[in-house]
Structure 1
Amino acid sequence: MTGFDGVVGHEEIISHLQNAIRLGKVSHAYIFGGEHGSGKKLLASLFAMTLQCQEHGIEPCMKCASCKKALNKNHPDIINITHEKPNSIGIDEIRDQLINDVGIKPYESPYKIYIVNDADKLTLQAQNALLKTIEEPPAYAVVMLLADNPDALLPTITSRCVILSLKPVGDRLVKDYLMDRMHIPDYQAEVQASFAQGNVGKAQQMANSAEFTELTENALRILKHSREMEVYELVDAIKIMSAEKQNIYDYLDLFTMWFRDVLLFKATKEVDNLVFKEEINYIKERASVSSYEGLEQIIDAIHMADSRLRANVNFDLVMELLFLTIREN
């Protein structure tokens, strides 16, 4: 783990946190909001480490006793709230680990820091119990609430916290990160960065996943041969591939990226901005046989298939309709 300088993107949030430390204006309560994998945990951990670092800088030094304990996850004054049930954090868990503990002074550091991951899963009773601590915290307490969906928190809580919303990171930065630090080849990094839509955690996961590489290859095979295969063959192919149902949405995202490339190439005749540059021959061929309206209809049909599957409409039926649209246009 490196300090803030190793984080991809989120410059505004980092500068806000570092200024708060520099000016001695650290708040008692923060909400880090952003989708799963966006970097909430990383930023909160780095902020906590920096606040406790014995060098008192605006980056964690990574070398002092405090930083080492934080890195080994056994710092007595950085408390990560745990919960038994995957979908809720109950009042007892918040009471035991935070409310009843916050009155005890820090063991060895300037602050006592509580990191509540999945804070949007706090029950109403747990949120109400936590409110009192956030309203009247001891001077040394800092509570960090990490939430994929900050709107699930009570307005009485959000109004008392500094809210830091993590925005998607630019594709270029994500691609550079995958190539420079994870040594992913250019072409794959391009696909993974586009697919991750600014979510570095998601990009990392894909870069480490042989399954995702295979999934991409399968999707491309279908797209390249969609014109000569019969609709039922296409449905069978996708059925075999998405035996694990959650993969089907990944396939649909890849289909969307492919047809956007075709549309972009048709309009500009340029290769530079395409995601699937290596497939330019197939993209060129598809662009020559499909009209602009046809390609837009296909992209709409992919979105429609996604919504229908999420609404539990019959899988075969949804995919048949989609492939018919792809074939007709």
Structure 2
Amino acid sequence: MPFGQIVGQERAIRFLQASLLKGTVSHAYLFTGPDGVGKRLTAFGLAKAVNCLERNGDFCDQCDSCRRIEQRTHPDLFLIEPEAEGAKLKIEQVRELQAAVGYRPYLARRAVCIIDQAERMTEAAANSMLKTLEEPPAAMLIVMVTASLERILPTIRSRCQVVRFSPLPKDDLERLIGEQLSIPADKVRLLAHLSGGSLGRARRIDLASLQDKRERIFGLLDSLSSAACVEVLFSQAKKLADEEDVDSLQQFLDLWLYWYYDLWKYQLTGDERGLINTDRMEEIIRQSQILSSHQIEENIRLIEETSAALQRNVNKQLALETMMLRLGGGQREKEIVKQGAIARPYLGLK
């Protein structure tokens, strides 16, 4: 896979290729950007390109050097990564690298060390790596990969050439999901939106759990549209808060938000192209005729504010109760006051 086949990172690729062609490749790079957008893939591509036997400024993926790097069997390729899910990068792993870099490369023009999830280095490992960066071996290229630049020591950042990677464009991500993941065609756009421009994140989304959340949302929409009593809404809010952690609730709110985005778009254009929930077109048409544009925009605002509130570690149940009351256009708030029901704080939502 030459550089041209790496999707959605044209800016980063142009910068790296220019350095290769000019002979100004740095001794150390720090690739930073969202998880799952091609940083690790590009790191291995750069390792191939500096050692490719056939191309200048790119790699062929066919020569002996490229094939060895692809198969992770090249004697001058070093990969440091967590040994298990969630594990730290240990000082022992860095010391193994330091022992190896004292020797000339066996086969390569430049030996390459790729440090994946570099933000997981322990303090001791990071300080040890800093010493290597302060006195870099002449024939060694170090590429660190991270999704959390702020967790990398400033002294390490200052000794690396930082290359920023962007979330993948929606069209590119939809195409990659359709090509690489076995999912129904009508779920591709939804998955692309939920993954935030990350193919890696899209791979990790549980479709069964996603569909369950969607069905629960449609059930809640029925409750809201049928003027269900306050007690029913409070019960549903409590059930959600008890069963879902904050990250799962954020995904739940994102799904709900996309529903109202679809209503808003369809109400404006009357066109189903570009909608996410196309498998629910009858309901989209019906709801867009019932709700005013003001109501839809207000519901979008309420869900966005609830999502922001959850990030501030507020009480989950109270946040959801407040949102559900207000999604009804304020009528249920009046019902609480009229009936003397228990007052609920509104958590700063406007």
Question: What range is the shorter-chain TM-score in?
Answer: 0.7 to 0.9
Match of 1:227 in 2: 225
Please state if 1:218 is matched with 2:215: yes
CA contact (8 A) 1:179 1:189 kept: yes
In 1: Cα distance, 2:208 partner to 2:300 partner? 25
Deviation at 1:261? 1.8
Deviation at 1:63? 3.0
With normalisation by structure 2, the TM-score equals 0.80
In 1: Cα distance, 2:82 partner to 2:168 partner? 30
Match of 2:89 in 1: 89
Match of 1:248 in 2: 249
Q: Gapped runs of 5+ residues in structure 1?
A: none
Match of 1:257 in 2: 258
Deviation at 1:158? 2.0
In 2: Cα distance, 1:139 partner to 1:243 partner? 55
Which deviates more, 265-274 or 85-94? 85-94
Residue type of the alignment partner of 2:281: I
Match of 1:69 in 2: 68
Match of 2:115 in 1: 116
Q: Secondary structure at the match of 2:188?
A: helix
CA contact (8 A) 2:76 2:108 kept: yes
Q: Secondary structure at the match of 2:100?
A: coil
Residue type of the alignment partner of 1:276: N
Deviation at 1:124? 4.2
Match of 1:9 in 2: 8
Alignment RMSD: 2.9
Please state if 1:80 is matched with 2:63: no
CA contact (8 A) 2:81 2:117 kept: no
In 2: Cα distance, 1:278 partner to 1:164 partner? 40
Match of 2:326 in 1: 325
1:144-186 Cα shifts (integer Å, max 9, x gaps)? 1111121222333223322111111211111122234546554
Please state if 1:192 is matched with 2:188: no
CA contact (8 A) 2:30 2:160 kept: yes
CA contact (8 A) 1:168 1:197 kept: yes
1:10-50 Cα shifts (integer Å, max 9, x gaps)? 01112222222233221111011012222211111222123
Match of 1:40 in 2: 39
Q: Gapped runs of 5+ residues in structure 2?
A: 331-350
Residue type of the alignment partner of 2:118: A
Match of 1:303 in 2: 304
In 2: Cα distance, 1:188 partner to 1:210 partner? 9
Match of 2:145 in 1: 146
Match of 2:157 in 1: 158
Which deviates more, 193-202 or 31-40? 193-202
Q: Secondary structure at the match of 2:102?
A: coil
1:220-247 Cα shifts (integer Å, max 9, x gaps)? 5335524235565566667379835342
Residue type of the alignment partner of 1:259: Y
Q: Secondary structure at the match of 1:36?
A: coil
Which deviates more, 233-242 or 9-18? 233-242
In 2: Cα distance, 1:111 partner to 1:48 partner? 9
Which deviates more, 247-256 or 290-299? 290-299
Q: Secondary structure at the match of 2:271?
A: coil
CA contact (8 A) 2:82 2:117 kept: no
With normalisation by structure 1, the TM-score equals 0.85
The structure 1 segments of at least 4 consecutive aligned residues displaced by more than 6 Å after TM superposition are none
Which deviates more, 60-69 or 216-225? 216-225
For residues 65 and 233 of structure 1, do their structure 2 counterparts lie closer, same or farther at Cα, with a shift above 3 Å needed?
A: farther
CA contact (8 A) 2:114 2:142 kept: yes
CA contact (8 A) 2:266 2:288 kept: yes
Match of 1:275 in 2: 276
1:237-260 Cα shifts (integer Å, max 9, x gaps)? 673798353422211111111112
Residue type of the alignment partner of 1:98: L
In 2: Cα distance, 1:319 partner to 1:201 partner? 29
For residues 66 and 237 of structure 1, do their structure 2 counterparts lie closer, same or farther at Cα, with a shift above 3 Å needed?
A: farther
In 1: Cα distance, 2:70 partner to 2:295 partner? 54
Q: Secondary structure at the match of 2:41?
A: helix
Residue type of the alignment partner of 1:79: F
Match of 1:23 in 2: 22
